[in-house]
A and B are shown apart, each in its own frame.
Chain A
Amino acid sequence: MYRYLKSAFVALPSAALAMSLFGTAQAKVEGDTIVLGAALSFTGKYKTNGKHTKNGYELAVKRVNEMGGVKVGGKNYELKVVYYDDESTPARGAQLVERLIKQDGIQFMLGPYSSGLTKAMAPVTEKYKIPMVEGNGASRSLFNKGYKYLFAVLSTSEQYLAEAINLAAEQAKAAGKDPGTLKLALAVENDPFSQDIRAGVLDDAKKHGMKVVIDDKLPKELNDMTVTLTKVKALKPDVLVVSGHSKGAATAVRQMMEQKVEVPMFAITHCEAADVVGKFGPGADYTLCATQWAETMTYEDDYFGSASDYAKLFEKEYGYVPPYQAAESTASVLVWVDALQRASSFDTAKLRDALSATDMRTFYGNVKFDETGKNIAKPMVLRQIQGGQYKVVAPTKWASDKLVHPRPKWSER
């Protein structure tokens, strides 16, 4: 009896150990399936964008599997993603990534929605040396911490509205004016993401020698911009840049219209998320909107064809036009597929090197990472709302339409 017990005591832990090793090996590649992991916001304040992110991932998985899957070491594998709900809270997100890695044995991570959650998860994936490809964390602070396992397909936040400054300078030159004479007004929310945007705008404004006449940092709780706009009326800047997530976008467009504020160029972020066209109709016209991607652009790849093919497929599948949050999520999966095939291995160290050597074209734009892991091959896009339609007007290389500049006066509309 004692002997049996003794052998049981020896056998049990070793079996457990074997199972855990085996289990881990099983989980990252289950038979013919490569398992990726993601913690996304299905509840809480980011749930809308959490859904876009998931739909983006799922569409990529579906399409890749339909086209024969991922070829690693001469064998074809299917893709699958394991999801958890991070409830839009960073602490929960960090826990769940740990769980994905330690309990579920996930070795290939996809990013969450938002910079805040990515910031919470990146230290964990870094600790376990698990590569994470993300498409929804744009904050500059993600890329100055020396992370080795974080790769982002999207343009980082300081690029969001910098293009508007260059566009204003271009317009000034075309009109025979010195860009240095332009006056710039900024109203940017006081959170890390929006302040990155502000830093990018200020850098470019400095380059052109523009004068900053208003530099308001909008508190998070604030949903009224009348004061800033009163200042705009008083100081008459040439460019007004506003960024404050959806709330800032909707508030700015609405109050510009209500107060009839005249400014030659007005550029904001989050137009689509705030649905400024649907809410304010013609009042939103001539607003410049920064976007990561637009379905009218001419990028292409083998999986989805052109950007507009992707948009059509997405709409057929989910019943709505894909916002850029979905497109960049799909692109993240494509980057994984490309890296897995090039590395032809499931070794995370080899995969990390393969990821960092990525140089590919996708329907979302070109992807090539610098040493900090951010994508340097894709510019931000500016679209102008014209007659209720979003038209790409900058950068000039990808523009489909001409910029209307300066904005027509309210009385002439």
Chain B
Amino acid sequence: MGNLEILIQAPIFSVQLLIDGLLVGSIFALAAYGMALLWGVMNIINISQGDYVILGGYVTLTLYNAGIHPLFGVPVAAVVLFFVGWAIYRVVIFRVVDRDLFISILATFGISILLQQLMDQIFGADIQSAESGLGTLFLFDDRVTVGQIKLVALAVVIVVSVSLVLFFKRSRMGQAIRATAQNARAARLMGINTDRVYAMTFAMNAAICGAAGALVVMTWVIQPFIGLAYTIRSFMIVVVAGLGNIAGVVAAALGLGAAEQFAAFLLGAEFQIGFVFGLLVVILLVRNMNLKRQRRVLK
């Protein structure tokens, strides 16, 4: 617990941990939101989620290597991934939408392997990164540092979340997606082309992941085979936050991000991910107890 003393004696370091945690969490929030969308609307748990993130990273990297500033990768990767997502829906996903959850897990797992191997063939297995050249902010005597790219990530997350909320409230397509999520059969009877809604949802998810990937390649590093870490993280955030709740997803992502930074500082980096999983178990247990209590009241 020597590390706790550091935080007590020099509380400035906990500011660093908090800021880092929130900013890291904001990148995960994007991928997690896409996952919640798919799960809520189509009842699909997308194992290939992280691979779209990495693919978005490679799109950005391609731009970067061609001499274009990687920040343009955020919109470009989103657009490219939108079409990739659309194509994957048309080829594979539409066959598994109404099936058992297990079938969709298998199908997306297959897509994940395929994407990984394709990226490996095209871009190589080496780790890569793109430099945004944005530099770092130094606060409090250089003791707190904030990578400006992480601030950009936070801004992107805010912009994307707000525009998604508006999209779902205002646009016809957004309303159609919400209607389909509530009751696909009824929506179909009301004349909504649910097949188109599903394609749109899947493509939108891929686009969101693509934007996240652009941020990942500028903040950290990418490699064809590390997508699964992002899938698992998104899954966890969605489990904590629940489906169809954008504010909840963002809050859960930021909260988990901060929690894991503190855990890693106090317990050591080897517990960083273990702690988050432990927290997940606790949250599920508490929630289950609450539900039981409600059920008893209902009786």
Contacts and interface: CB of A to CB of B under 8 A. Distances in A.
Contacts of A226: 16, 20, 24, 261
A45 interface: yes
B269 A47 contact: no
A246 B265 CA distance: 23
B229 interface: yes
Given A48-B126, A224-B220, A230 B16 contact: yes
A217 B129 contact: no
A279 interface: yes
Contacts, number: 105
Interface in A41-93: 43-48
B62 interface: no
B261 A223 contact: no
Interface stretch (B140-148, B175-183, B185-193): B140-148
A259 B272 contact: no
Contact of A218 (B3, B20, B270): B270
A275 B124 CA distance: 14
A190 B3 CA distance: 21
Contact of B17 (A215, A227, A251): A227
Given A45-B120, A215-B268, A258-B136, A247 B223 contact: yes
A217 B267 CA distance: 11
Contacts of A216: 264, 268-270
Given A43-B120, A230-B16, A234-B10, A219 B136 contact: no
Contacts of B124: 47-48
B6 A235 contact: yes
Contacts of B16: 226, 230
Q: Place the interface of chain B in its size category.
A: 35 or more
Contact of A230 (B125, B220, B232, B265): B265
Interface string A226-249: 111011011100000000001100
Nearest to B124: A48
B221 A247 contact: yes
Given A217-B268, A279-B129, A259 B145 contact: yes
Given A45-B225, A215-B268, A227-B261, A260 B127 contact: no
A214 to B, nearest CB: 8
Interface string B16-34: 1100100010000000000
B221 A250 contact: yes
Most chain A CB neighbours (cut-off 10 Å) among B10, B13, B270: B270
B138 interface: yes
A87 to B, nearest CB: 10
A187 B265 CA distance: 12
A258 B148 CA distance: 10
A320 to B, nearest CB: 13
Nearest to B221: A250
Interface residues of A, number: 39
B127 to A, nearest CB: 5
A230 B146 CA distance: 12
A274 interface: yes
A221 interface: yes
Contacts of A404: none
Contacts of A217: 268-270
B261 A260 contact: no
Contacts of A221: 226, 228-229, 232, 273
A1 interface: no
A279 B20 CA distance: 23
A199 interface: no
A254 interface: yes
Contacts of B147: 258
Contacts of B138: 260
B10 A219 contact: no
B195 interface: no
B45 to A, nearest CB: 19
B131 A279 contact: yes
B120 A219 contact: no
A223 B6 contact: no
A297 interface: no
Contacts of B3: 231
A187 to B, nearest CB: 7
A259 B220 CA distance: 13
A10 interface: no
Interface in B1-50: 3, 6, 10, 13, 16-17, 20, 24
Given A216-B269, A221-B226, A227-B261, A258 B125 contact: no
A223 B57 CA distance: 14
B13 A234 contact: yes
27 contacts: A43-B120, A44-B125, A45-B125, A47-B120, A47-B125, A48-B126, A217-B269, A217-B270, A219-B273, A222-B269, A222-B272, A223-B221, A223-B226, A224-B24, A224-B220, A225-B269, A226-B20, A227-B261, A227-B265, A230-B17, A231-B3, A231-B6, A233-B143, A246-B127, A246-B223, A251-B220, A274-B126
Given A230-B13, A234-B6, 7 more contacts: A48-B124, A217-B269, A222-B273, A226-B24, A227-B264, A228-B269, A275-B126
Interface of A: 43-48, 187, 190, 215-219, 221-228, 230-231, 233-235, 246-247, 250-251, 254, 258-260, 273-275, 279-280
